[in-house]
Homo-oligomer: A and B are copies of this chain.
Amino acid sequence: MSKLNTQLLKGTLEGAMLLIISREELYGYVLNQRLQESGFDTVSDGTIYPALQKLQREGYIVGEMRKSPEGPARKYFKITAEGRIYLQLFIETWSRLKQNMEGLIDENQRRYWGK
């Protein structure tokens, strides 16, 4: 079950992260909490920090270190103009995939009650 979720996570995580960062400037630790609030299973540190670095490397987000009043410094990320363009592309591609899957699933369900 959790393994299945891991597989389904692939490919959608970056998009989900970018969607959250697009509405709110935040740092990795809080991003992880937001993902959980959005229904995703806990994402490990070893997943989220490399993913953030990749998004930054590609120019979709930029990070900035800021001191914390309590605890270690935080790296706040915000989305760039390029990131917004990529985000729209992601949403379109996701929608297409969603419709494709929906079509297959609907047909599957239909065969179990009245053809």
Contact = CB atoms under 8 A, between A and B. Distances in A.
A22 B40 CA distance: 28
Contacts of A57: none
A1 interface: yes
Interface size class of A (residues with CB under 8 A): 35 or more
B16 A11 contact: no
Interface in A53-100: 87, 89-91, 93-94, 96-100
Interface of A: 1, 4-12, 14-16, 19-20, 22-23, 38-40, 87, 89-91, 93-94, 96-101, 103-105, 107-108, 111
A23 B107 contact: yes
Contact of A97 (B8, B20, B100, B105): B8
